[in-house]
Structure 1
Amino acid sequence: MSDSVLFDSVQLGPYTLKNRIVLPPLTRSRSSQPGNVPNDLMATYYRQRAGAGFMVTEGTQIEPRGQGYAWTPGIYSPEQVDGWRKVTDAVHAKGGIIFAQLWHVGRVSHTSLQPGGAAPVAPSAIPADNVKVFIETGPGQGALVLPSAPRALTTAEVKELVQLYAQAACNALEAGFDGVEIHSANGYLVNQFISVHTNRRDDEYGGSLENRLRFLREVTQAVADVVGKERMGVRFAPLFATTEEDRVYLGLVEEDPHTTYIEAVKVLEEIGVAYLSLAEADWDNAPELPEAFRADVRKNFTGKVIYAGKYTPARGVRVVEAGWGDLIAFGRPFIANPDLPERIAHDWPLNPVDSTAMYGGTDKGYTDYPTCQP
């Protein structure tokens, strides 16, 4: 099976992508302190990977309360905007197209990461007990700990958060990004509103599926009003559990994930966003998305579809040729191989990932991976 289909050009909103290969959001925790400011090292990292047809930044918190892990960058302060401008300038100089992923972790945080040591905020006061967060314990040092118990947002605060997403989108444009992606996956804030496991609200944002999708709808529309619907996407991580072990995923496995996420996809179609990114479970023996779900996504969404999650080039080709997806994201391979598109094109061997340098640290395991050609 030829990988040539991965090197077709694709139209994504106003942008003509040079290939179907995507650098997906990958948390690396290399921002400068204090202030969680993007820096020159991060600009080098993204510039090295600008051979991707499309790039999305690591999750970028929209406000101080949105942080759930040490040293992750934000996009709410002037210093952060200036830092991200270094990244976008570096990527654009190499002909790349890059979107910022707008992120709020909600309940998946710790009081040590929150302003004033306050409790994290969430749709409902339900702790996250199947995940750990990474906190700073000293200069350049950290530890994994359980998230702190959250407090429930008031209705007025939920509406204020919608505007914080819009402001973050405005900041992203100021920083030179080509567009934005809303992080609505992996058990973080937008996902928490969607899920019956984390949303027990009795106001307009809770109860029925329509109400639980209201925050997604309002955030997506508010961001589209800022950047334009053709310059934005949304990421989901629907999980179709097949065993009890599979169901332990931040506690957000829906009883009927097909219905839940197809209705969410319909919201995106109504607003008219440029793309939908589907992050599949990536642990060993994780369940794949059912073909019926992939087909239903295509039936209900006319924008581009990105797939991510332990993809090989061959698997990516199968998804594209089946008509289910348009773009394929490669996470860990892109971490270790800054020239990944060239390696795929020429069938060159891949560097292994240095698992000890995934989060935090220096250039080691970040910008020092060798390319096949100097």
Structure 2
Amino acid sequence: MYKIQTLNNISPIGLAKLPADSYSVADDVDSPDAIILRSYKMHEMEIPKSLKAVGRAGAGVNNIPLDKMSDAGVPVFNAPGANANAVKELVIASIFIAARNITEAVKYTEALEGEDAELSKLVEAGKKKYGGFEVPGRTIGVVGLGAIGRMVANTCIDLGMHVVGFDPGLTVDGAWQLSSKISRANSVEEMLAKVDFLTVHVPLIDATRDLINADNVGKMKSTAVIINLARGGITNDEAICDALDVGKLGAYVTDFPNNRTKKTPKVIGLPHLGASTGEAEDNCAIMVAEQVKDYLENGNIKNSVNFPNVSMPRGTAHRLVVCNANVPNMVGQISTIMAEAGLNIHDMINQSRGEIAYTIVDSDTEIPQRVVSTIKQLDGVMIARAIQD
């Protein structure tokens, strides 16, 4: 029986992927084999010695101490792309809301007073003030072309917009999923002066903090709209609000409002709605539950943010998984220990990522616990675990 601790409310549809006959799932589990969470901050949490995996039912992992998990040999899984459609839809909505001055127009209308005849005149006056503009033919810059950025870019092409994309880490597979009509920028700065809209879809790391800042926001059109539904801190709110205050920017849509943005006209603040649809929460929970289950039952790793992706079909009922420092001759030592125990290797795979290496070995016969214990004692080994049906 595997024990799973939930640190947030996780979609029951996702948790249903962990069958009750093999999994005990609760928020107060002692010595959990895995933790599944959403936004709970784990940085100050004492990590259980029993922990084998962490599953983040979402994309960002800023709330998880990755270095601490890597040192303990614990893979951290996330759910890239599971909430992409939800975020994409809100980006597209934000484009129209900003272009047509919807929030300002609603506030204007709600504040109207007087008899119907008088209101009718005021409504007509508001129509002239808040009419806005249409999006076909406008240019949008998309920073970050992962699952969300690609969907946003392709949808904007379908809307008749010109799209400029920037992502130095774009993969070949990712590029194949992009419309051929999308132009490529070599830097964020290169696109700033061209765009009517700018949307960011990158994680918050040192390299992306204050990506849009006081030094470069001034390069944008005075009518340009900035959209940040990714992470607070990627865009510098102070710099953007300062530009809005003096009419050097058109609007700012943020999913991470604060006291500075609240008091600035032309800021459209949302309560972190990006991935908050029921469908997105279900999709994220399903994906991460399946990944954690596959790791616990088969040792396979998919969509880990700190471990290499390593998967191998079960060739036998007897499997050994080992996580270790990425140093020479580790596979040789593992093979030697198994051979000395009379174990024949049916199949094996080894992959590395940075300082971490991970090995899966299928044996034709049962793997004794003494073999696992001997491998655990090798210098550099973080975890060794036998999985046997």
Return the TM-score normalized by structure 1: 0.24
TM-score (norm 2): 0.23
Greater relative contact order: 1 or 2 (C-alpha under 8 angstroms, separation 6 or more)?
Answer: 1
Larger-Rg structure: 2
